[in-house]
A and B are shown apart, each in its own frame.
Chain A
Amino acid sequence: MEVDFGAVLAQRAYLLQGLGLTIEISLASILLSFVLGIGVALCRIAPLRPLHSLAGLYIDVFRNTPFLVQLFFFYYGLPEIGISTNPVVTGTLALSLAVAAGNAEIIRAGIETVDAGVIQAARSFGLATFNVYRLVVLPIALRTALRPLGSAFVNLVLTTSVLSSITVNDLMGNAVNIAADTFRPFEVYLVLLIAYCAMTFVVSGCVNGAHALLYSRLSERPQLQG
């Protein structure tokens, strides 16, 4: 059988609609997992023992179980205890929770590389602990964590395809329908392969841009002499 993209291209509007949902889910999850990751990382380094252990447990569980199992647990399991679920919302939340666990580890590693002297200097200026973290530690830590966070976000975009298994009509979900309708699975999934590659290149491009921006701003600052 010959390779023929005609049938797939005829369905491009439907594919683009799925692409739109994939982008929306990705953006929402990136934002949510980033914020959640910072929160969990701060809990992880907090001196309060229960908070510290709880954050550790969360990271351990979510990083060492498959996303598919987590997704099925939330999507099929929550209704059992009376919480109704919606594929898109549950999927986005589950994805954010899973990625946030990895982000928390990345951000914690970033925080730990911040020089102790910098923190002591900030303290000696009379900054409260909250401000030390907000103004000094986190900006440095997040800049260090930028690249690993970028690859976590690339992974996030790829993982959105798993949401199709709980009936989300994202790019993957719509592609499965088109493959079933047109009997052209090879062409459909080849197009999808390229489409996901394009999306991840955009994400890594943004990360590289942000990286260049942050580090050039750093070097532009007046340096102390002596």
Chain B
Amino acid sequence: MNLYQYTAFVPHDAMLIWNGFLWTFGIFASSTVLGSLLGFLLALLLHARVPILAWLVAGFVELFRNSPLLVQLFLVFYGLPVVTSFSPSATEAAILTMTVNTAAFMVVIVVAALDAVPRGQWHAAISSGMGYPQVMRLVVLPQAVRTVIPPAIVLAVGQLQTSSLVSIIGVNELARAGTILNNRTLRPFIVWPVIGLIYFVMAKLLSHFAARVERRVRARITWFAPAT
């Protein structure tokens, strides 16, 4: 038997890579959106200093920011089914872990942005008769969003690349397509640059569109425009 009979690249490999791209995009997009929402909610709890809950959030953030995504992924995918009745599929584990991980980083970004809104804004809004929810929704959050966007973009570009780690638990995304091609064709010197290039283009497009969104958001929130 010739061990090397399937080593040539075939047209179907393009489909394999395309499929991988779709999965990478899906996992990245869903976990970034969900993670950002979760991060915002947790940040509000932390910022409002809700007793006990705020400590729990702070502990969660420290734990997930200071441990590798790979460990978190293995804990959810291999660990949870053993001690609980929850046994996620590889994709579910990937999205869940990436979401929680993104949320932990997002909390820090949002809390910093909320803290950066001058206290005078609070005093002014409260003295004009607004309650906490109104101040938050109408005055503080719109200003904080401006500050949140640039670091959130950096986080998202980072998470896009970190999402390649979910290939290790067997999600059929881009890096996994690369592994499959690598193992079959035995041409890593060609396969990995191609996979890397796709991630590179995705990251560049992401930064590009995020910058456009940022400009739009800034243009809409013009009522708070310091001279600088």
A185: Cβ under 8 A from any B Cβ: yes
**A17-56 CB contacts (< 8 Å) to partner B:** none
B225: Cβ under 8 A from any A Cβ: no
A192: Cβ under 8 A from any B Cβ: yes
A140-174 toward B: CB 8 Å interface, digit per residue (1/0)? 00000000000000100011011011000000100
Say whether A186 contacts B79, CB under 8 Å.
yes
Q: How far does the alpha carbon of A164 sit from the alpha carbon of B204 in the complex, in Å?
A: 29
Task: Using CB atoms, name the residue of chain A closest to B74.
Answer: A189
Say whether B75 contacts A190, CB under 8 Å.
yes
Chain B hits for A73, CB < 8 A: 188-189, 192-193, 196
Say whether A65 contacts B161, CB under 8 Å.
yes
Q: How far does the alpha carbon of A157 sit from the alpha carbon of B199 in the complex, in Å?
A: 23
Say whether A68 contacts B175, CB under 8 Å.
yes
Given A1-B83, A3-B83, A189-B79, A197 and B66 contact (CB-CB distance below 8 Å): yes
Say whether A184 contacts B82, CB under 8 Å.
yes
The prevalent SS among residues of A at the interface is helix
Say whether B165 contacts A196, CB under 8 Å.
no
Say whether B78 contacts A179, CB under 8 Å.
yes
Which of A61, A179, A192 is in CB contact (< 8 Å) with B67?
A: A192
A115: Cβ under 8 A from any B Cβ: no
**B62-80 CB contacts (< 8 Å) to partner A:** 62-63, 66-72, 74-75, 78-80
Say whether B70 contacts A65, CB under 8 Å.
no
Task: Using CB atoms, name the residue of chain A closest to B201.
Answer: A64
Say whether B200 contacts A72, CB under 8 Å.
no
Say whether A69 contacts B82, CB under 8 Å.
no
Chain A hits for B165, CB < 8 A: 66, 68, 162
Say whether A76 contacts B192, CB under 8 Å.
yes
Q: How far is the CB of B199 from chain A (nearest CB, A)?
A: 5
B99: Cβ under 8 A from any A Cβ: no
- Which size class do B's interface residues fall under? 35 or more
Q: How far does the alpha carbon of A111 sit from the alpha carbon of B84 in the complex, in Å?
A: 52
Interface size on A, residues (CB 8 A): 43
Chain A hits for B74, CB < 8 A: 176, 179, 185, 189
Chain B hits for A3, CB < 8 A: 83
A184-222 toward B: CB 8 Å interface, digit per residue (1/0)? 111111101100110011000000000000000000000
Q: How far is the CB of B31 from chain A (nearest CB, A)?
A: 15
Say whether A197 contacts B63, CB under 8 Å.
yes
Q: 10 A-B contacts, Cβ less than 8 Å apart? A: A1-B82, A69-B164, A69-B195, A77-B189, A161-B68, A172-B68, A172-B71, A185-B75, A196-B71, A200-B66
Q: What residues make up the interface of B, taking CB atoms closer than 8 Å to A?
A: 62-63, 66-72, 74-75, 78-80, 82-83, 157, 161-165, 167-168, 175, 178-179, 182, 187-189, 192-193, 195-197, 199-200, 203-204
Apart from A73-B196, A76-B182, A190-B75, what 14 extra A-B contacts exist at CB < 8 Å?
A64-B199, A65-B200, A66-B164, A66-B199, A77-B192, A80-B187, A80-B189, A172-B68, A179-B74, A188-B79, A189-B79, A190-B79, A193-B67, A197-B62
